Structure 1
C-alpha cells in the first residue's frame, strides 16, 4: 500500500474521532455546526467529501463504519475500520487524496515545526542523539 495513504490515514484519525464525538452517527448527513470545534469540523468535511465520491456500495460501507465507530468510541477496531474505509476511498483516487490533504490544517501538512527561544536553547525536530549547551562543554557519550 502506498506509504502516503497510510500516513494520511494516521494524520486524519484524530479529526475523524473528533467529528464522531461532536456529530455522532449523523456526521455524514448533518450540516456543519459553527459551534463545534475546528478539529471536529475538519473531520466532518473529510467524511462528507469521501461520502460524495463513493458509489452506492462504498457509501453503505462507509456509513456502517461510521455507525460502528460512533456507537463504540473506545473500540480501536471500529476506529481502524473507519480509517480503512478512508484508505479504500483514496487508494485509486489521487484527486480525492489531494482534496482531503488540503483540508488538514497547515501544521499537519508542513511537517514538524520546532522553535527554540532563549540563551543556549535547542530545537530539534526528531531524535538528534544528544545535545550539549553551555560554555566550553565537552559532550560525553
Structure 2
C-alpha cells in the first residue's frame, strides 16, 4: 500500500481519536466506551508514537488538532507529520497497514451496473434514457 493511500485511512482514525479525547489521547489507554474508529485511531497513534524517535512533532500536531478540531489545516498538519514518519520508516507503514480493516471487494452485478466502494452522496443512475432531477 502506498503512503498516500495509507494516510487516507490512518489520519481519519487518528483524527477521530483526537476528536474524542483531545490531548489525552496521547496518554489514554483504549477505553471500553470508545467506538471502533476511535479505538483504531488510538492503536495507530500509539504504534506511531512508540516507533518515532522524536515524538515532539506528532504530539504538537495532536495538541493543535485537539485545540482546533474543526480546522482542516490542523488535520493536514497531523497528516504531514505522520507522512514524514512513514516515509522514514517503511516497516512502520507495513505494520500500520496490517492494523487497518480490509477494504470491501466491490463487484458490479452486470451490464451498466454501478460499483461503489465507499460512500455515495449524490444520484447514481444507469440505463437507457435515464433522467434525473435533483432539487437544491
Alignment partner, residue 64 of structure 2: 68
Alignment partner, residue 86 of structure 1: 82
Tell me whether 1:105 sits opposite 2:96 in the alignment. no
Any stretches of 5+ residues in structure 2 without a counterpart?
A: 118-124, 130-136
Runs of at least 4 residues off by over 6 Å: none
Alignment length (residue pairs) = 123
Shift of 1:122: 2.4
Shift of 1:102: 1.1
After superposition, give the CA deviation of every residue in 1:71-119 in whole Å (9 maximum; x if it has no partner): 1001111100101111111102121001111111112xx5x52465xxx
**Aligned counterparts of 2:126 and 2:116: Cα–Cα separation in 1:** 13
**Aligned counterparts of 2:69 and 2:40: Cα–Cα separation in 1:** 18
Alignment partner, residue 19 of structure 1: 17
**Aligned counterparts of 1:48 and 1:100: Cα–Cα separation in 2:** 11
Q: TM-score, normalised by structure 2?
A: 0.77
- Which structure has the greater CA radius of gyration? 1
- Once the two structures are superposed, the pairs formed by residues 48-63 of structure 1 within 5 Å of their partners are 48-55=46-53, 58-63=54-59
Q: Report the secondary structure of 1:35's partner residue.
A: coil
**Aligned counterparts of 1:115 and 1:105: Cα–Cα separation in 2:** 22
Q: TM-score, normalised by structure 1?
A: 0.75
Give the alignment's Cα RMSD to 1 decimal.
Answer: 2.8
